[in-house]
Each structure stands twice: as structure tokens, then as C-alpha cells.
């Protein structure tokens, strides 16, 4: 039978609850336990797929095609475990399932209520995840903070899970902020005490408290929290500010958090791993050579919109002994002159949707291509590169995507037939893993070192195969093809330091312990280009 860990937040949001949950997952995996991680989000959207990046940040995609919260990216990077649709649950999903059951008559005429019907559906999401994953421990993060109205059904559901299982099978972790009064260094525990009482009012008693604060939390402060919140001293852990987020599991381990959790859950006999995570952190922290990467996008004022991209860039840099400095460039600000890219060693154009800022991206591709600057295009970045090539190498004036200009005379990028009749926006993109055959004697084949790859997608528009011959004559190599659907997945330019673009999202599969080949190749090429 699986054990369950639930991670809740108190006082304020944004204090690293997701990183704390991911770090616990890393620690337990280092004890050779099989884990599965979940995120419960209290908003009414079915998923974040239709939400603005300015509101929600990045949409992370699982291999089986779920559009999810960005915290799942942290989970996968920290644990190197591929998650599924079971890992992302929203209030919208729960209510839609319950309403569908009511419409079918599954409840035999009963009055459908939050308790037990909504809470039962939430509990089923936890139990089914445990059953399907075969995990020793399921770690579930509850979005929002204790006291939010929309979180109440989730809190009630996990309270019921606690009562339905044996003592020692369920552990509650509560993350809180211990602030200091402005102008002083005195840390105040009162917000933590109130948050603890709020959680208790929902029938849940915290077993572990994780503290965030600006300063070092003293023994006296921990003793005060222990006294007022009835949590043993060894279960009060500080999440310190670190230079590298991958240090957080090591910070927790140093304070004995994994030992406490294993003992509480009756799993104390688990062996420790070989310490490869700490070795990776040590190696990453030694990276010194600075390289400057321009990230040209539409949402650059909100860095969370490109969280997996930036993390993959940083990780690839660390792995290659480089400290990547990202210059955030709004694509609307790109002018037709090289000054905006002064001092830039490489350029990346990540995913996006809609017309705004696309002309600046096209100029970016042209600049990188003509000036031998390493260029890496992801999803929209590949489509933009193909439009640039059509316009500026083939002379196809007005070439574009029908997403950008429905009346373009040269629809280089267009909808597939099965997308033309789609009415609902949510969940109808090409999502999740698709195969990609890698052409022999190409840079991409060399980087991957294999004949076929499976990569995660999130897009609706595709390269128009009617232009394949013309684009090939312009010197473009189609180095990755989905043979099942006859779709172009990767392009490259041969006589260029690095000009590679892909239709999928490699950032979703990049890990600090296993950097994605395309990010690795891009950083290597950028370093070489800079040194030359």
C-alpha cells in the first residue's frame, strides 16, 4: 500500500511550496523509493491550457498530453520521473467529472453535494494515481494557501484520506513564511501560528513545518514554533535561500527531513543513493565561463512563461562549464539593426501563440542566420525561421502563417485538416509525445545519437508540406520527420555554427541529470562560436 504526503501552504503564496514538494520527492527517490507527484489547483479552469501566460506562466505538458501547472516541470526535473494526466487535478476537472456522472444518472437520484461527491472525486484522484503508478509514496501539493475558499474541498478530501488510512501512512507538510518587521531583523512567528490554527480548523494537523524567511531561523524561533504549533523540533525545517534551486534537497537533507519522513512513514530501512545529486550540484556550481543568450519572446516581462526553457538553458550551461546569462528581449522591440544583439553569443526563440511580436521574431531569425549567430528555435521559433527563409531567401513576399495572416499568399505554416473544424480551444492542440525519425548524416542525428526520439508537443499549426521542395532548395535540411503523420519536426542549416529549430518542446524533457541533446548542442555551439 502506498503512503501519502500532502503539502499545503500558509501565510502567503509564492514561497516555494512546489520546490519544497519536488525536493521531498528527490530525497525519497534518493532512498530508492518509487514516487509519484501530483498538483491540485483550485481554479475552475479544466487546465491552464487556455489561460494567459501573463496570469499563469508556463503551461507544462506531460508525455501523455496533459496541459498542466508549471510546478509539474519542477517535479519532473527534480525526480526525473515522467508524470501523467493523473498528476494534474483542478477544481474544474473535478466538478466536470461529477456533473457528467450526475447527468448519466450514476448517483441514482441522490442530491449531489460537495461532501461526499466532490470530495470523493478528489480522493479517487489520489488513490487512482497511487494504484496506476505503483508508487511507494504519493506526494500531493495543494495549490493556493490555507484559508482560501476554493481550496476547502481539497483540504476536506485530504483530511478524509488521513482518517481512512492507518496512523503513519499519511503525513502533512505545511510551508509557511516567517517574516521580519521592516527595518529590523526580528523574525515573527505569529503568521505561522495563525496559519497552523487555520489548518487545524479544517481538521488537519501539520506533521512537518517548512519555513521560508529572509534571515537564518534561530533555535529559539524554531522552539517557539514547536511549542505553539505542536510539531517536534526535528520536523521544523528551514528552506534557505540558495544560489541554485537544486541545492534545496541538500538543505533539507542536512536538517534531517528525509530521516524524519522515513521514520514517520515506517520506511526507515531504505538505503541511501550514491550521492549523484550532490555531485551534480557541486559540478554545476563550478561553472564559470559566461555566455550571453538572447531569449526573444512575447512574454519576456514574465519569466515564468518560459520557466522550463530557461532552466534547460541554465542546466545545459552548467553541464558544459558555462554560466548562462539570459538577456530578455521583447520581440516587439527588435529593430532592423544589430545593436539590440550586441554582446550576444546565441539566440533562442521559444514557443508562443498569436500575431503580436512576430515581425520582430522573423527579423531575429534573419539576423542570426545571416550573421552566423547560433540560433535555436522552439515550436513557434521553428515556424518563424521557416517564414524568414521563405521571405528572405526564396523571395516569397508576404509569406507567413495563417495564424498570423489568414490571407497570406504563401501559407508556409497552416492548420492541418483535422484542426480546421475544432471549436473548443482547450485540450485540442497536438499534445504530448509523438515519434520523430532523425535523418542520417545530420547534426541533429549526431546530437541525439539515435535513429528515433519521442518528443512532447503543444501546438496547432504545422509546416505546410506544399513548400517542402522550395524550402529544401534554399539549403534547409529537414533533419527530423514524423513519418506517421508526414510532418516536419526539425530543420537545420548545414553551413552555420548552429541553426536548429524544432516543432516540439524539448525543454519539457530536459533534466539537470540528463540535459536534452538539442540544448546541449546549442550551448556547446554557442561556447565554440564565442571562443572563435
Q: Which residues are catalytic?
A: 379, 505, 507
The grid coordinates of residue 411 equal 501559407
Q: Which residues contact 62 (CB under 8 A, 6 or more apart)?
A: 68, 72, 82, 83, 84, 85, 87, 88, 432, 456
329 phi-psi bin (left φ>0, alpha ψ -120 to 50, beta other): beta
Q: Are 482 and 492 in contact (CB under 8 A)?
A: no
Q: What is the distance between the alpha carbons of residues 417 and 397, in angstroms, rounded to a whole number?
A: 25
Q: What is the distance between the alpha carbons of residues 296 and 327, in angstroms, rounded to a whole number?
A: 8
The grid coordinates of residue 398 equal 508576404
| Residues 455, 400, 381: CA angle, nearest 5 degrees | 35
Name the CA dihedral angle for 257, 260, 262, 263, rounded to a multiple of 10 degrees. Answer: 170
The label of the residue with cell 515519434 reads 435
Q: What is the distance between the alpha carbons of residues 120 and 181, in angstroms, rounded to a whole number?
A: 43
359 CB burial (10 A radius; 0-12, 13-18, 19+): middle
Q: CA-based diameter of the chain, in Å?
A: 75
**Distance between start and end Cα atoms, the chain:** 58
Q: What is the DSSP letter of 272?
A: P
Amino acid at each position: 500500500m502506498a503512503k501519502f504526503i500532502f503539502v499545503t501552504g500558509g501565510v502567503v503564496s509564492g514561497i516555494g511550496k512546489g520546490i519544497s514538494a519536488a525536493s521531498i520527492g528527490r530525497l525519497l527517490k534518493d532512498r530508492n523509493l518509487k514516487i509519484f507527484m501530483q498538483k491540485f489547483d483550485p481554479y475552475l479552469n479544466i487546465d491552464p491550457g487556455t489561460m494567459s501566460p501573463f496570469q499563469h506562466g508556463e503551461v507544462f505538458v506531460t508525455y501523455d498530453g496533459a496541459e498542466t501547472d508549471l510546478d509539474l516541470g519542477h517535479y519532473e526535473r527534480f525526480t526525473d520521473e515522467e508524470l501523467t494526466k493523473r498528476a494534474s487535478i483542478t477544481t474544474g476537472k473535478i466538478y466536470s467529472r461529477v456533473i457528467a456522472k450526475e447527468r448519466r444518472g450514476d448517483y441514482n437520484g441522490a442530491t449531489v453535494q460537495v461532501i461526499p461527491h466532490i470530495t470523493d472525486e478528489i480522493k479517487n484522484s489520489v488513490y487512482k494515481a497511487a494504484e496506476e503508478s505503483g508508487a511507494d509514496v504519493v506526494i500531493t501539493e495543494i495549490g493556493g494557501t490555507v484559508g482560501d475558499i476554493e481550496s476547502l474541498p481539497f483540504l476536506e478530501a485530504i483530511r478524509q484520506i488521513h482518517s481512512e488510512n492507518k496512523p503513519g501512512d499519511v503525513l502533512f507538510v505545511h510551508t509557511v513564511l516567517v517574516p521580519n518587521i521592516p527595518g529590523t531583523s526580528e523574525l515573527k512567528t505569529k503568521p505561522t501560528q495563525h496559519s497552523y490554527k487555520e489548518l487545524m480548523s479544517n481538521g488537519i494537523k501539520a506533521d512537518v513545518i517548512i519555513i521560508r524567511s529572509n534571515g537564518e531561523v534561530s533555535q529559539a524561533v524554531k522552539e517557539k514554533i514547536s511549542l505553539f504549533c505542536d510539531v517536534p523540533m526535528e520536523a521544523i525545517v528551514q528552506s534557505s535561500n540558495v544560489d541554485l534551486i537544486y541545492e534545496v534537497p541538500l538543505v533539507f537533507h542536512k536538517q534531517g527531513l528525509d530521516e524524519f519522513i522515513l521514520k514517520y512513514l515506517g520506511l526507515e530501512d531504505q538505503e541511501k543513493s550514491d550521492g549523484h545529486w550532490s555531485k551534480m550540484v557541486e559540478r554545476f556550481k563550478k561553472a564559470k565561463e559566461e555566455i550571453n543568450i538572447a531569449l526573444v519572446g512575447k512574454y519576456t516581462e514574465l519569466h515564468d512563461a518560459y520557466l522550463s526553457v530557461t532552466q534547460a538553458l541554465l542546466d545545459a550551461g552548467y553541464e558544459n562549464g558555462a554560466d548562462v546569462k539570459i538577456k530578455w528581449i521583447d520581440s516587439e522591440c527588435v529593430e532592423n539593426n544589430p545593436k539590440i544583439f550586441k554582446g550576444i553569443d546565441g539566440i533562442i526563440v521559444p514557443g508562443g501563440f498569436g500575431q503580436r511580436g512576430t515581425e520582430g521574431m522573423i527579423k531575429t531569425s534573419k539576423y542570426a542566420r545571416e550573421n552566423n549567430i547560433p540560433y535555436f528555435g522552439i515550436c513557434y521559433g521553428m515556424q518563424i525561421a521557416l517564414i524568414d527563409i521563405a521571405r528572405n531567401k526564396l523571395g516569397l513576399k508576404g509569406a507567413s502563417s495563417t495564424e498570423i495572416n489568414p490571407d497570406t499568399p504563401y501559407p508556409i505554416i497552416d492548420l492541418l485538416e483535422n484542426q480546421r473544424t475544432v471549436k473548443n480551444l482547450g485540450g485540442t492542440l497536438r499534445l504530448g509525445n509523438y515519434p520523430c525519425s532523425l535523418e542520417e548524416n545530420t547534426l541533429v542525428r549526431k546530437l541525439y545519437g539515435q535513429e528515433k526520439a519521442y518528443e512532447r508537443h503543444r501546438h496547432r499549426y504545422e509546416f505546410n508540406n506544399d513548400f517542402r521542395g522550395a524550402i529544401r532548395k534554399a539549403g534547409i535540411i529537414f533533419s527530423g520527420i514524423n513519418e506517421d503523420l508526414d510532418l516536419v519536426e526539425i530543420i537545420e542549416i548545414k553551413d552555420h555554427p548552429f541553426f536548429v529549430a524544432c516543432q516540439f518542446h524539448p525543454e519539457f524533457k530536459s533534466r539537470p541529470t540528463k540535459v536534452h541533446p538539442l540544448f546541449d548542442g546549442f550551448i556547446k555551439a554557442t561556447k565554440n562560436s564565442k571562443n572563435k
